[in-house]
Amino acid sequence: MDEAIALPYFRAHGPVRFLLHHVRERPGGHLVVLVGLVAAVGSAIGAQYAVKNLVDVLGGHPTDRILWQAVALLLVLVGSDNLAWRLAGWGATQAFMAVGGDIQRELFRHLSGHGTQYFTEQLPGALAGRITTAASATWIIENLTAFNALPPALAVLSSIAVLSLISWRLTAILVAVVAALGMLIGWLAASGHRLHERFAGQAAAVAGDLADIVSNIAVVRAFGAERREQARLSHKIEFEMTAQRASLRFLERIRLLHAVSVFAVTACVLIWSVILWQERRITTGDVVLATTLGFTVLHASRDLAMALVELVQHVAKLGEAIQVLGLPHEMEDAPDALPLVVRGGAISIEDVRFSYPNGQQVLWDITLHIEAGSKVGLVGPSGAGKSTLFALLQRYYDPDRGRIQIDGQDISRVTQASLRRAVAVVEQDISLFNRTILENLRYGRSDATDDEVYAAAEAAHCTEFISRLPHGFDTVVGDRGMKLSGGQRQRLAIVRAFLKDAPIILLDEATSELDSESEEAIQEALARLFKGRTVVAIAHRLSTLNAFEHIVVLERGRIVEEGALSELLRRKGIYSRMYERQFGGARTP
């Protein structure tokens, strides 16, 4: 099945089909498990018949040969039972873990293809928790099926087949009782699906809230909100515990029903077997076999029913994860999309309007042509639409009207991967992985050599501060790079842009956290980075744009001014007033 539609398809058709799809991808290991289980159950049932045979032999006057043959048969079957379980266990460690890994990879691959809107509506911690929950639920489902559900099912069928050789009436009654009990418990288990699904959703919500609080612990402390967050989380945990309690109580009621039923039917089987023996219609060995097989059938049906009840709970967890993670992607490549071919990096924005899914219109009739290799600055008050325009240039969203082209190619008609390769972004809010500086820098180009990384760091004037860190380039920067200052994180982001070597550069306040001395050094580095590339920069610090050929002023989603810096200053318009506020006078740079 096409990976692009797999998860949405299984989201509609349920977690069982999703799991079976992945099981079929690993046929060898699962076949080993199945063969081992069939051999184990067959040996266990055969061992009970061997016990019956040994009892009958002991009740007569056997020769030594017949006696020891009966003993040997029993020992062989007991040994085979144990070896077969080990074979199934070995196969399970290979196949079940592989399926869990496959599911984690597929869920993450699909998750990473979601658009910006999806991630703004979900808690990152809850999404990550759902991936691990799905893998864990998969492991438990496969283990429960293989070692708690399938063996008793096989045992019931095998026991009934052997019991039919002793008394077909007893066998018929057992079949009827087991079938009725199984259907009743199966129906009850299915009726509790919503309880288990509710518990899974509450657990995911608590995990997401917990991750959100931990990732913002500095804010919590700054506002003295520890007790407030503890109380809030405690309230959420209480909801989770209530849902879990309801789920577990439901399971216990089913277990109680089955326990009473098992006791009643086991007593009837035993009494009936003794009556048949009194009437000399069966042997002593038959009584032993009928009793042990009766116990096997009833206990196996109990184990099967309980396994199915527990399976329902974990299938609900897997289903909840698929429901959230498996939503169709909002931003798919067009069916006939081709890779973007950059011939210089000219950008054309034609009559673009855009509103967010909540209906808020942000951009109105934006038309802007950026020549290849030119440097264009975007300025304007917060909320003017600058960052939204950047998001459209990267195709995080599609415009409601109009189109955006790069070198004459509509970016909605090219592959998103090729568009990402053509654009390097240095954002205001720099995100770094909790990895070493070297690993974070190499994220700009995974095949960059150490020497190339060092050269890029030197070009961005980062080598000096990196050398002062405890382990230099091997220093782990902490969650989101919190062990570094804001300015240091921005410099590292610029290094990543150097390494990516993309023809189009987008800068979103790339020097906002630098002091004047550092900014001067970075501006020199950026000048080298800009050479021969198309640059679009958002800037509140207007000195960043002194060397830019063209400046565009946005206000309330519209272009209200544009032109060269000197021209805008002469006009005494919006940009000139912004310049005066920052520098105390409209002096031409």
Domain ranges across the chain: 3-325, 347-583
Tokens for 102?
A: 């496959």
Q: 425 has which bridge partners?
A: 506
Question: Which one, of 535, 461, 525, 524, lies nearest residue 502 by Cα?
Answer: 535
404: helix, coil or strand?
strand
Better-scored residue on pLDDT, 584 or 307: 307
* 406 pLDDT above the threshold of 90: yes
* 2 pLDDT above the threshold of 60: no
* 184 pLDDT above the threshold of 90: no
Average pLDDT over residues 379-402: 90
* 536 pLDDT above the threshold of 90: yes
* 351 pLDDT above the threshold of 80: yes
Cα 416 from Cα 112, distance rounded (Å): 13
* 134 pLDDT above the threshold of 70: yes
Q: What is the dihedral of CA 150, 154, 156, 157, to 10 degrees?
A: 140
Strand order across the 361-370 sheet:
361-370, 347-355, 401-406, 409-410
Query: Please, what CATH class does the domain formed by 347-583 belong to?
Result: alpha beta
85-99, 108-122, 343-357, 552-566: lowest mean pLDDT where?
108-122
Considering the entire predicted model, what is its pTM? Answer: 0.67
**pLDDT score, position 48:** 77
* 510 pLDDT above the threshold of 90: no
* 272 pLDDT above the threshold of 90: no
CATH fold for domain 3-325: ABC transporter transmembrane region fold (1.20.1560)
* 137 pLDDT above the threshold of 80: yes
Q: Which residue has the tokens 């692009």?
A: 4
Tally the residues of the chain: 589
Parallel, antiparallel or unpaired: strands 401-406 and 409-410: antiparallel
Give tens-digit pLDDT for 192-231: 667 766 776 777 777 777 767 776 776 777 767 778 788 8
* 265 pLDDT above the threshold of 90: no
Average pLDDT over residues 517-525: 67
Handedness of CA 427, 430, 434, 435 (dihedral sign): positive
**pLDDT score, position 9:** 61
Strand order across the 550-555 sheet:
423-426, 504-508, 534-538, 375-379, 550-555, 558-563
Read off the pLDDT band of 586 (50, 70, 90).
very low
On the question of a common fold for 3-325 and 347-583, the answer reads no
Give tens-digit pLDDT for 48-89: 778 877 877 887 777 788 888 888 888 898 888 889 988 998
Q: 563 has which bridge partners?
A: 551
Tokens for 475?
A: 């220093």
Cα 257 from Cα 254, distance rounded (Å): 5
Read off the pLDDT band of 5 (50, 70, 90).
low
Read off the pLDDT band of 419 (50, 70, 90).
very high
**pLDDT score, position 97:** 87
Tokens for 381?
A: 């008050």
**pLDDT score, position 217:** 72
